[in-house]
Amino acid sequence: MVPLAESWDSGAYAWSAAEREAYANDLGDDRALIAVSAASNRSRADQDPATWLPPAAAYRCQYVTDWVAVKTRWDLSVDPAERTALSEELSHCADAPVTVVLAR
């Protein structure tokens, strides 16, 4: 969900090698690793919601709530532009709950 490069920029640079491996292979939360087409993966690359959102508008609430859950799960930071984009997108989501499964 949150690309490795984005996680690095958000705090994973300070993790141990074991923590980075655990993050990259996180099977403890179904939202952490999602299957997408190669074209979708290439279009998103390592972008955060400030610069990329899914083209399917109906999926965006799910996407941003999952993004928040993964960032929270791994105690990753959110930069100002990302926070603004998340807030804007979440303002269109009626009572979208965010459930977090702790990683550590």
pLDDT digits (tens, 9 = 90+) for 68-97: 999 999 999 999 999 999 999 999 988 877
- How many domains does one find in the chain? 1
| Res. 3: pLDDT tops 70 | yes
| Res. 104: pLDDT tops 60 | no
Please work out, in degrees rounded to the nearest 5, the angle formed at the alpha carbon of residue 59 by the alpha carbons of 57 and 61. Answer: 95
What is the domain range of residue 24?
Answer: 4-90
State residue 25 phi and psi, 5-degree precision: -120, 30
Could you tell me if residue 51 is inside a domain? yes
Amino acid at residue number 51: T
| Terminal-residue alpha carbon distance, the chain | 18
Could you tell me if residue 75 is inside a domain? yes
| Res. 65: pLDDT tops 80 | yes
Could you tell me if residue 48 is inside a domain? yes
More confident residue, 102 or 62: 62
CB 32 within 8 A of CB 100: no
The pLDDT of residue 91 is 92
Could you tell me if residue 104 is inside a domain? no
| pLDDT tens figures, 33-60 | 665 666 665 666 678 899 999 888 988 9
Alpha-carbon distances, residue 96 vs 55, 65, 103 (angstroms): 19, 7, 22
Residue 97 to residue 69: CA distance in whole angstroms: 10
Could you tell me if residue 100 is inside a domain? no
Could you tell me if residue 98 is inside a domain? no
